[in-house]
Chain A
Amino acid sequence: MSDQKTADIQRRTEAVKDQLIRKGLLAEEDVQHFLDLAEEWKPENGARVVARAWTDPEFRQRLLDDATSACAEMGYTGLQGEYIVALENTPELHNVVVCTQCSCTAWPVLGLPPDWYKSPEYRARVVRQPRRVLSEMGLELSPDIGVRVWETSAETRYMVIPLRPSGTEALGVDDLSALVTREALIGVALASQCER
């Protein structure tokens, strides 16, 4: 087949799936099961964890001590959530997460990662030029604030706890969680300012 063109990716994917099902190695329901699970993994989960940590000092401490259990307590556990560590931003330190060698992410709290996180550009550059990459992505950090880049090279999965924006003292957990985006949970953005 060397004189032929590479097959269309959609047809390659279907061919693998069809052959696995035809041979009885997988069932259609197995495939669907993981697609259903993927819909449960979303950054709104991590946002609720953050909003609770902002409003409940005891939960915040549990999250910092053992994020795996604290997230599981809220129902966020499972594949790629076996050992979660929460990284708290402070006025002096900003945390940002990457996986330079593949694209590991804490699926239950962050969801499956976006294309930019999986791109060679982000993976190659953020460990070397974090301030420049963050600035290009719209986040300007003062030189006084340290930047700590967390490389997901083993089995720990990270989530960032962004700083709670000022002027949000009156907000409840639902409104607060709406301020926390997937980008803030990875550390390439801050929590949004309150729009009211």
Chain B
Amino acid sequence: MDSIHDLGGMQGFGAVRVERDEPVFHEPWQATAFALMVATQVVMRSHNADEYRHSIERMSPSHYLQAHYYERVLTGTTTLLVEKGLLDLQDLEARSGGVFPLAAPVAENPMSDRVPQTEARFTEGDRVRVLPISPAGHVRAPKFCRGHVGTVVHRAPKFSFPDTSAHGGERRKEHTYHVEFSAQALWPREGGANDSVVVDLWDSYLEAASS
């Protein structure tokens, strides 16, 4: 879904603030939220990493931007646990003494109809175009590279295809490719002549490009 999480290239954001000697966690609840996020996936196996990423993407944009990273972690994880009937929202709200905002439900027909690409179609040096995909559910091709042509600089192993695995679809794996786009192609008015962006993209997000 083209939601607030897909931030790459979005304008209007100010300076990056670096905290010197930053601790891993600023408050104890952040550590707990992190541990619950991992434990629910690794120990409970109540959901996978793709479902988890998508649960955060479903947060309302205003909540997403205002929440600290570990509040997003907790919100996404809790949303899935409530949706799967493992936790009770009323009980959580009673115990925490207020509203417990969750992410919005999964869209109807969330999956794109990409054709599975189980064999590697591309190799280093190939020119590829990112398809103009925009499904209602989970997708990992950032908006800023869709429609653009780049060059494959590396073929990575096969990994679970996120668009289907986030939605209980057919389990399938595809190669991903590190595709290099010239900064001037992506950002004609700003991109530096010597600069580029490399995006890691699943096979079925791509098509062969002649130039």
Chain A positions within 8 Å of B, measured between CB atoms, are 1-2, 4-20, 23, 25-26, 30-35, 38-39, 79, 83, 85, 98, 100-103, 111-112, 114-116, 118-131, 133, 136-137, 143-156, 183
Q: How far is the CA of A71 from the CA of B210 in the complex (A)?
A: 38
The reply to whether the CB of B19 lies closer than 8 angstroms to some CB of chain A is yes
B residues near A13, Cβ cutoff 8 Å: 29, 32-33, 36, 74
Which of B13, B17, B180 has a CB less than 8 Å from the CB of A116? B17
Nearest residue, chain B, Cβ from A113: B69
**Shortest distance in angstroms between B100's beta carbon and chain A's nearest beta carbon?**
5
Chain A residue, CB-CB nearest to B141: A153
Contact B176 A154 (CB under 8 A): yes
Instruction: Indicate which residue in A10, A18, A115 contacts B95 across the interface (CB closer than 8 Å).
Output: A18
Are A150 and B198 touching (Cβ within 8 A)? yes
A-B contact count (CB 8 A): 249
29 residue pairs from A and B, CB less than 8 Å apart: A6-B98, A6-B101, A7-B96, A8-B97, A11-B97, A16-B36, A19-B87, A83-B156, A101-B142, A115-B22, A116-B19, A122-B16, A123-B7, A124-B7, A124-B13, A126-B16, A127-B144, A130-B192, A130-B195, A131-B192, A133-B16, A137-B18, A144-B194, A146-B192, A148-B198, A149-B198, A151-B8, A153-B200, A155-B156
Q: Interface size class for chain B?
A: 35 or more
Smallest CB gap from A155: residue in B: B159
Over the window 84-103 of chain B, the binary record of Cβ atoms lying under 8 Å from chain A Cβ atoms (1 yes, 0 no) is: 00111001110111111100
B95 with A123: CB separation less than 8 A: no
A112-B34, A153-B200, A156-B178 known; A7+B93 contact, CB < 8 A: yes
Query: Is B39 among interface residues, defined by CB-CB distance under 8 A?
Result: yes
**Quick one: which of B17, B88, B190 contacts A119, CB cutoff 8 A?**
B17
List 8 additional A-B contacts (Cβ < 8 Å) besides A10-B27, A23-B87, A119-B17: A38-B34, A101-B142, A121-B14, A127-B186, A127-B197, A130-B183, A146-B192, A153-B141
Interface string of B125-153 (1 = CB under 8 A from A): 00000000000000011101000000000
The distance in angstroms between the C-alpha atoms of A138 and B79, with both chains bound, is: 39
Q: How far is the CB of A145 from chain B (nearest CB, A)?
A: 7
Task: Closest B residue to A142 by CB, please name it.
Answer: B194
Contact in complex: B92, A12 (CB < 8 Å): yes
Which chain B residues lie closer than 8 Å to A15 at the CB level?
91-92, 95-96, 100
Interface of A (DSSP majority class): mixed
A145 to B160, CA, bound (A): 36
CB atoms of A12 and B142 under 8 A apart: no
Q: How far is the CB of A181 from chain B (nearest CB, A)?
A: 11
A residues in contact with B65, CB < 8 Å: 120
A34-B38, A143-B194, A147-B195 are known contacts. Are A19 and B88 too (CB-CB below 8 A)?
A: yes
Indicate whether A1 sits within 8 Å of B16 (C-beta atoms), given known contacts A16-B77, A16-B78, A101-B140: no
In the complex, B5 has a CB within 8 A of chain A: yes
A49 to B156, CA, bound (A): 22
Knowing A15-B100, A101-B8, A130-B195, say if A85 contacts B154 (CB, 8 Å): yes
Give Cα distance in the complex from A30 to B92, angstroms. Answer: 20
Per-residue 0/1 for B154-196: is the Cβ within 8 Å of any A Cβ (1 yes, 0 no)?
1011010010000000000000101010010011001010111
B5 and A102 form a contact (CB under 8 A): yes
Q: Which residue of B8, B32, B196 contacts A123 across the interface (Cβ within 8 Å)? A: B8
A128 adjacent to B74 (CB under 8 Å):
no
For B11-29 the 0/1 string (1 means CB < 8 A from A) is 1011111110010101111
Contact (Cβ within 8 A) B38 A115: no
